[in-house]
Structure 1
Amino acid sequence: MENQNISDIIEAYLKQILAESQEVEIRRSEIANQFNVVPSQINYVIKTRFTIQDGYVVRSKRGGGGYIRIEKVKLLDNLDFIDSLVAAVGDHITRHDGLAVVRSLFEAGTINRREANIMLAAIDKTALNTGDRDLDEQIRAQILISILDHLRYES
Protein backbone atom coordinates (compact mmCIF):
# COMPACT_ATOMS: atom_id res chain seq x y z
CA MET A 1 0.00 0.00 0.00
CA GLU A 2 2.98 2.29 0.53
CA ASN A 3 3.69 2.46 -3.20
CA GLN A 4 0.13 3.51 -4.04
CA ASN A 5 -0.62 7.16 -4.50
CA ILE A 6 -3.78 8.74 -3.15
CA SER A 7 -5.50 8.56 -6.56
CA ASP A 8 -4.97 4.78 -6.61
CA ILE A 9 -6.40 4.49 -3.11
CA ILE A 10 -9.49 6.56 -3.92
CA GLU A 11 -10.00 4.57 -7.14
CA ALA A 12 -9.72 1.27 -5.24
CA TYR A 13 -12.20 2.48 -2.62
CA LEU A 14 -14.80 3.45 -5.23
CA LYS A 15 -14.27 0.25 -7.22
CA GLN A 16 -14.71 -1.78 -4.06
CA ILE A 17 -18.13 -0.17 -3.57
CA LEU A 18 -18.94 -0.78 -7.26
CA ALA A 19 -18.03 -4.48 -6.84
CA GLU A 20 -20.97 -4.76 -4.45
CA SER A 21 -23.39 -2.57 -6.41
CA GLN A 22 -23.82 -1.49 -10.04
CA GLU A 23 -23.66 2.19 -9.08
CA VAL A 24 -22.41 4.47 -6.36
CA GLU A 25 -23.58 7.97 -5.53
CA ILE A 26 -21.09 10.15 -3.70
CA ARG A 27 -20.68 13.69 -2.54
CA ARG A 28 -17.34 14.99 -3.69
CA SER A 29 -16.64 16.95 -0.50
CA GLU A 30 -17.41 13.97 1.75
CA ILE A 31 -14.98 11.70 -0.11
CA ALA A 32 -12.37 14.48 -0.14
CA ASN A 33 -12.72 14.84 3.65
CA GLN A 34 -12.55 11.08 4.12
CA PHE A 35 -9.21 10.90 2.29
CA ASN A 36 -7.97 14.31 3.44
CA VAL A 37 -7.59 15.67 -0.10
CA VAL A 38 -8.97 18.64 -1.98
CA PRO A 39 -12.24 18.05 -3.89
CA SER A 40 -10.47 18.57 -7.22
CA GLN A 41 -8.49 15.37 -6.47
CA ILE A 42 -11.79 13.47 -6.47
CA ASN A 43 -12.66 15.08 -9.81
CA TYR A 44 -9.32 13.97 -11.22
CA VAL A 45 -9.78 10.37 -10.10
CA ILE A 46 -13.29 10.18 -11.50
CA LYS A 47 -12.39 11.87 -14.78
CA THR A 48 -9.34 9.69 -15.44
CA ARG A 49 -10.25 6.33 -13.88
CA PHE A 50 -14.00 6.04 -14.48
CA THR A 51 -14.42 6.64 -18.22
CA ILE A 52 -16.88 5.14 -20.67
CA GLN A 53 -13.98 3.27 -22.24
CA ASP A 54 -13.38 1.62 -18.87
CA GLY A 55 -17.04 0.64 -18.55
CA TYR A 56 -18.36 3.47 -16.38
CA VAL A 57 -20.91 6.20 -16.89
CA VAL A 58 -20.53 9.25 -14.66
CA ARG A 59 -23.36 11.68 -14.03
CA SER A 60 -23.27 14.64 -11.72
CA LYS A 61 -25.55 17.26 -10.28
CA ARG A 62 -24.04 20.48 -9.05
CA GLY A 63 -25.23 22.64 -6.20
CA GLY A 64 -26.08 22.15 -2.55
CA GLY A 65 -27.78 18.80 -3.06
CA GLY A 66 -25.25 17.83 -5.70
CA TYR A 67 -23.80 14.39 -6.19
CA ILE A 68 -21.63 12.34 -8.48
CA ARG A 69 -23.08 9.03 -9.62
CA ILE A 70 -20.79 6.37 -11.07
CA GLU A 71 -22.50 3.49 -12.83
CA LYS A 72 -20.80 0.32 -14.02
CA VAL A 73 -22.05 -0.66 -17.49
CA LYS A 74 -21.42 -3.46 -19.94
CA LEU A 75 -19.53 -2.23 -22.96
CA LEU A 76 -20.53 -3.35 -26.41
CA ASP A 77 -18.11 -5.39 -28.48
CA ASN A 78 -18.09 -3.01 -31.44
CA LEU A 79 -16.58 0.09 -29.83
CA ASP A 80 -14.13 0.63 -32.69
CA PHE A 81 -17.05 0.75 -35.12
CA ILE A 82 -18.89 3.31 -33.01
CA ASP A 83 -15.69 5.34 -32.53
CA SER A 84 -15.21 5.47 -36.30
CA LEU A 85 -18.80 6.70 -36.72
CA VAL A 86 -18.25 9.42 -34.09
CA ALA A 87 -15.15 10.53 -35.97
CA ALA A 88 -17.09 10.54 -39.24
CA VAL A 89 -19.86 12.69 -37.76
CA GLY A 90 -17.49 15.36 -36.50
CA ASP A 91 -18.95 18.71 -35.45
CA HIS A 92 -21.49 18.93 -38.25
CA ILE A 93 -23.18 16.49 -40.62
CA THR A 94 -25.58 16.74 -43.53
CA ARG A 95 -28.93 14.98 -43.50
CA HIS A 96 -27.72 12.62 -46.23
CA ASP A 97 -24.57 11.67 -44.30
CA GLY A 98 -26.62 11.31 -41.11
CA LEU A 99 -28.86 8.81 -42.88
CA ALA A 100 -25.73 6.88 -43.90
CA VAL A 101 -24.58 6.71 -40.25
CA VAL A 102 -27.98 5.33 -39.16
CA ARG A 103 -27.96 2.87 -42.08
CA SER A 104 -24.48 1.66 -41.04
CA LEU A 105 -25.67 1.06 -37.47
CA PHE A 106 -28.71 -0.84 -38.73
CA GLU A 107 -26.78 -2.96 -41.22
CA ALA A 108 -24.19 -3.82 -38.57
CA GLY A 109 -26.96 -5.03 -36.28
CA THR A 110 -26.13 -2.43 -33.63
CA ILE A 111 -29.67 -1.04 -33.73
CA ASN A 112 -32.99 -2.52 -34.84
CA ARG A 113 -35.43 -1.06 -37.36
CA ARG A 114 -37.49 0.74 -34.70
CA GLU A 115 -34.40 2.37 -33.18
CA ALA A 116 -33.22 3.37 -36.64
CA ASN A 117 -36.57 5.02 -37.35
CA ILE A 118 -36.43 6.91 -34.07
CA MET A 119 -32.93 8.14 -34.88
CA LEU A 120 -34.01 9.17 -38.37
CA ALA A 121 -36.91 11.15 -36.91
CA ALA A 122 -34.56 12.91 -34.48
CA ILE A 123 -32.19 14.06 -37.24
CA ASP A 124 -34.78 14.74 -39.94
CA LYS A 125 -34.86 18.15 -41.59
CA THR A 126 -38.38 18.76 -40.25
CA ALA A 127 -37.16 18.25 -36.67
CA LEU A 128 -34.14 20.46 -37.27
CA ASN A 129 -35.53 23.53 -38.92
CA THR A 130 -33.78 26.55 -37.45
CA GLY A 131 -33.58 28.32 -40.79
CA ASP A 132 -29.80 28.09 -40.65
CA ARG A 133 -28.45 25.03 -42.49
CA ASP A 134 -25.07 25.17 -40.74
CA LEU A 135 -26.74 25.27 -37.33
CA ASP A 136 -29.04 22.37 -38.32
CA GLU A 137 -25.97 20.33 -39.29
CA GLN A 138 -24.26 21.11 -35.97
CA ILE A 139 -27.35 20.09 -33.98
CA ARG A 140 -27.73 16.93 -36.08
CA ALA A 141 -24.09 16.04 -35.29
CA GLN A 142 -24.63 16.64 -31.56
CA ILE A 143 -27.72 14.41 -31.58
CA LEU A 144 -25.93 11.62 -33.44
CA ILE A 145 -22.85 11.77 -31.23
CA SER A 146 -25.02 11.68 -28.11
CA ILE A 147 -26.83 8.60 -29.42
CA LEU A 148 -23.56 6.95 -30.44
CA ASP A 149 -22.11 7.61 -26.99
CA HIS A 150 -25.12 5.91 -25.43
CA LEU A 151 -24.73 2.95 -27.79
CA ARG A 152 -21.26 2.30 -26.35
CA TYR A 153 -22.78 0.53 -23.37
CA GLU A 154 -25.73 -1.53 -22.32
CA SER A 155 -27.53 -0.51 -19.13
Structure 2
Amino acid sequence: MENQNISDLIEEYLKEILREQEKIEIRRAEMANQFSCVPSQINYVINTRFTVAQGYSVESKRGGGGYIRIQKVNLNHHGEILADLSNMVGSSLSQNDGIAILQQLYNYDIISKREGNLLLSVIASDVLQMDKHNEEKTRARMMKVLLERLHYEEKE
Protein backbone atom coordinates (compact mmCIF):
# COMPACT_ATOMS: atom_id res chain seq x y z
CA MET A 1 0.00 0.00 0.00
CA GLU A 2 3.03 2.26 0.37
CA ASN A 3 3.42 2.47 -3.40
CA GLN A 4 -0.11 3.75 -3.99
CA ASN A 5 -0.49 7.34 -5.11
CA ILE A 6 -3.25 9.64 -3.91
CA SER A 7 -5.46 8.79 -6.91
CA ASP A 8 -5.25 5.09 -6.07
CA LEU A 9 -6.15 5.79 -2.45
CA ILE A 10 -9.18 7.91 -3.41
CA GLU A 11 -10.33 5.27 -5.91
CA GLU A 12 -9.97 2.45 -3.38
CA TYR A 13 -11.82 4.45 -0.71
CA LEU A 14 -14.76 5.13 -3.02
CA LYS A 15 -14.88 1.56 -4.32
CA GLU A 16 -14.86 0.23 -0.76
CA ILE A 17 -17.96 2.30 0.01
CA LEU A 18 -19.56 1.14 -3.25
CA ARG A 19 -19.05 -2.48 -2.21
CA GLU A 20 -21.37 -1.79 0.73
CA GLN A 21 -23.78 0.64 -0.98
CA GLU A 22 -24.94 0.75 -4.58
CA LYS A 23 -24.93 4.55 -4.70
CA ILE A 24 -22.86 7.19 -2.92
CA GLU A 25 -22.97 10.96 -2.86
CA ILE A 26 -19.82 12.89 -2.07
CA ARG A 27 -18.79 16.51 -1.84
CA ARG A 28 -15.66 17.40 -3.80
CA ALA A 29 -14.27 19.82 -1.21
CA GLU A 30 -14.85 17.44 1.70
CA MET A 31 -13.07 14.61 -0.14
CA ALA A 32 -10.17 16.93 -0.98
CA ASN A 33 -9.87 17.85 2.71
CA GLN A 34 -10.01 14.22 3.78
CA PHE A 35 -7.18 13.26 1.40
CA SER A 36 -5.24 16.54 1.71
CA CYS A 37 -5.37 17.21 -2.00
CA VAL A 38 -6.89 19.75 -4.37
CA PRO A 39 -10.52 19.28 -5.55
CA SER A 40 -9.29 18.80 -9.13
CA GLN A 41 -7.60 15.57 -7.95
CA ILE A 42 -11.01 14.26 -6.92
CA ASN A 43 -12.37 15.24 -10.37
CA TYR A 44 -9.50 13.42 -12.05
CA VAL A 45 -10.20 10.19 -10.15
CA ILE A 46 -13.94 10.37 -10.83
CA ASN A 47 -13.49 11.17 -14.54
CA THR A 48 -10.90 8.46 -15.21
CA ARG A 49 -11.81 5.62 -12.86
CA PHE A 50 -15.59 5.78 -12.56
CA THR A 51 -16.81 5.77 -16.16
CA VAL A 52 -19.79 4.00 -17.72
CA ALA A 53 -17.40 1.64 -19.48
CA GLN A 54 -16.00 0.70 -16.07
CA GLY A 55 -19.48 0.05 -14.69
CA TYR A 56 -20.36 3.36 -13.02
CA SER A 57 -22.84 6.14 -13.61
CA VAL A 58 -21.68 9.56 -12.41
CA GLU A 59 -23.85 12.61 -11.92
CA SER A 60 -22.53 15.89 -10.57
CA LYS A 61 -23.92 19.24 -9.54
CA ARG A 62 -21.63 22.19 -9.07
CA GLY A 63 -22.02 25.07 -6.66
CA GLY A 64 -22.44 25.50 -2.91
CA GLY A 65 -24.76 22.54 -2.47
CA GLY A 66 -22.95 20.61 -5.16
CA TYR A 67 -22.30 16.90 -5.06
CA ILE A 68 -20.98 13.99 -7.06
CA ARG A 69 -23.22 10.93 -7.12
CA ILE A 70 -21.64 7.62 -8.16
CA GLN A 71 -23.75 4.55 -8.82
CA LYS A 72 -22.90 1.03 -9.95
CA VAL A 73 -24.44 -0.09 -13.26
CA ASN A 74 -24.92 -3.58 -14.67
CA LEU A 75 -24.12 -4.68 -18.18
CA ASN A 76 -27.34 -5.15 -20.12
CA HIS A 77 -27.93 -8.75 -21.21
CA HIS A 78 -28.22 -7.50 -24.82
CA GLY A 79 -24.62 -6.25 -24.76
CA GLU A 80 -23.44 -8.09 -27.87
CA ILE A 81 -26.36 -6.86 -30.00
CA LEU A 82 -25.84 -3.30 -28.81
CA ALA A 83 -22.10 -3.47 -29.49
CA ASP A 84 -22.76 -4.76 -33.02
CA LEU A 85 -25.27 -1.99 -33.70
CA SER A 86 -22.88 0.62 -32.32
CA ASN A 87 -20.09 -0.67 -34.57
CA MET A 88 -22.40 -0.27 -37.57
CA VAL A 89 -23.08 3.42 -36.89
CA GLY A 90 -19.76 4.97 -37.92
CA SER A 91 -19.26 8.74 -38.02
CA SER A 92 -22.45 9.51 -39.96
CA LEU A 93 -25.91 7.95 -40.01
CA SER A 94 -28.74 8.47 -42.47
CA GLN A 95 -32.28 8.82 -41.21
CA ASN A 96 -33.21 5.48 -42.84
CA ASP A 97 -30.31 3.69 -41.15
CA GLY A 98 -31.26 5.30 -37.83
CA ILE A 99 -34.81 4.02 -38.26
CA ALA A 100 -33.46 0.53 -39.04
CA ILE A 101 -31.35 0.54 -35.86
CA LEU A 102 -34.29 1.68 -33.74
CA GLN A 103 -36.39 -1.08 -35.34
CA GLN A 104 -33.76 -3.64 -34.32
CA LEU A 105 -33.77 -2.28 -30.76
CA TYR A 106 -37.54 -2.73 -30.72
CA ASN A 107 -37.37 -6.20 -32.32
CA TYR A 108 -34.98 -7.38 -29.58
CA ASP A 109 -37.22 -5.88 -26.84
CA ILE A 110 -34.47 -3.46 -25.84
CA ILE A 111 -36.79 -0.47 -26.23
CA SER A 112 -40.58 -0.25 -26.06
CA LYS A 113 -42.82 0.87 -28.91
CA ARG A 114 -43.34 4.20 -27.15
CA GLU A 115 -39.59 4.73 -26.65
CA GLY A 116 -38.98 3.81 -30.28
CA ASN A 117 -41.56 6.33 -31.50
CA LEU A 118 -40.09 9.05 -29.29
CA LEU A 119 -36.59 8.32 -30.61
CA LEU A 120 -37.85 8.31 -34.21
CA SER A 121 -39.14 11.83 -33.71
CA VAL A 122 -35.80 12.99 -32.30
CA ILE A 123 -33.65 11.66 -35.16
CA ALA A 124 -35.92 13.00 -37.92
CA SER A 125 -34.39 15.34 -40.50
CA ASP A 126 -37.11 17.96 -39.99
CA VAL A 127 -36.21 18.11 -36.29
CA LEU A 128 -32.44 18.29 -36.73
CA GLN A 129 -32.76 20.98 -39.45
CA MET A 130 -29.18 21.28 -40.62
CA ASP A 131 -27.23 20.51 -43.75
CA LYS A 132 -27.13 16.79 -44.62
CA HIS A 133 -23.48 16.28 -43.60
CA ASN A 134 -23.91 17.80 -40.12
CA GLU A 135 -27.32 16.17 -39.70
CA GLU A 136 -25.88 12.70 -40.32
CA LYS A 137 -22.89 13.35 -38.03
CA THR A 138 -25.21 14.59 -35.27
CA ARG A 139 -27.55 11.62 -35.71
CA ALA A 140 -24.59 9.21 -35.50
CA ARG A 141 -23.32 10.81 -32.27
CA MET A 142 -26.81 10.68 -30.78
CA MET A 143 -27.23 7.03 -31.73
CA LYS A 144 -23.81 6.05 -30.35
CA VAL A 145 -24.63 7.72 -27.02
CA LEU A 146 -28.02 6.00 -26.95
CA LEU A 147 -26.50 2.59 -27.69
CA GLU A 148 -23.79 3.06 -25.07
CA ARG A 149 -26.35 4.06 -22.47
CA LEU A 150 -28.58 1.11 -23.35
CA HIS A 151 -25.56 -1.14 -22.95
CA TYR A 152 -25.75 -0.53 -19.21
CA GLU A 153 -28.67 -0.75 -16.80
CA GLU A 154 -28.62 1.13 -13.52
CA LYS A 155 -29.22 -1.02 -10.50
CA GLU A 156 -32.58 -0.34 -8.90
TM above 0.5:
yes
User: Any gaps of 5 or more consecutive residues in structure 2?
Assistant: none
Q: Which residue of 2 aligns with 1:143?
A: 142
Q: Which residue of 2 aligns with 1:31?
A: 31
User: Any gaps of 5 or more consecutive residues in structure 1?
Assistant: none
Q: Which amino acid aligns with 2:146?
A: I
Shift of residue 92, structure 1, vs aligned partner: 2.8
Provide, for residues 50-107 of structure 1, a one-character-per-residue CA deviation record: whole Å limited to 9, x for no partner. 1112210112223333322111122213334323433433443110111122123223
- How far apart, in 2, do the equivalents of 1:46 and 1:18 lie? 13
Stretch deviating more after TM superposition (92-101 or 64-73):
64-73
Q: Which residue of 2 aligns with 1:119?
A: 119
Matches for 1:2-151 after TM superposition, within 5 Å:
2-128=2-128, 130-151=129-150
Q: Which amino acid aligns with 1:6?
A: I
Higher relative contact order (CA 8 A, sep 6+): 2
- How far apart, in 2, do the equivalents of 1:36 and 1:81 lie? 45
Check whether the contact 1:122–1:143 (CA below 8 A) recurs between aligned residues: no
User: What is the SS of the residue equivalent to 2:59?
Assistant: strand
- How far apart, in 2, do the equivalents of 1:46 and 1:9 lie? 12
Provide, for residues 10-65 of structure 1, a one-character-per-residue CA deviation record: whole Å limited to 9, x for no partner. 11211222233222122222211111122222122212221112210112223333
Calculate percent identity across the aligned residue pairs.
50
User: What is the SS of the residue equivalent to 2:125?
Assistant: coil
User: What is the SS of the residue equivalent to 1:2?
Assistant: coil
Shift of residue 153, structure 1, vs aligned partner: 1.7
TM-score w.r.t. length of structure 2 = 0.81
Check whether the contact 1:55–1:74 (CA below 8 A) recurs between aligned residues: yes
- How far apart, in 2, do the equivalents of 1:131 and 1:78 lie? 33
Q: Which amino acid aligns with 2:140?
A: A
- How far apart, in 1, do the equivalents of 2:6 and 2:80 lie? 32
How many residues were matched structurally? 154
- How far apart, in 2, do the equivalents of 1:35 and 1:65 lie? 20
Check whether the contact 1:56–1:73 (CA below 8 A) recurs between aligned residues: yes
Q: CA RMSD in A?
A: 2.2
- How far apart, in 2, do the equivalents of 1:80 and 1:12 lie? 30
User: What is the SS of the residue equivalent to 1:118?
Assistant: helix
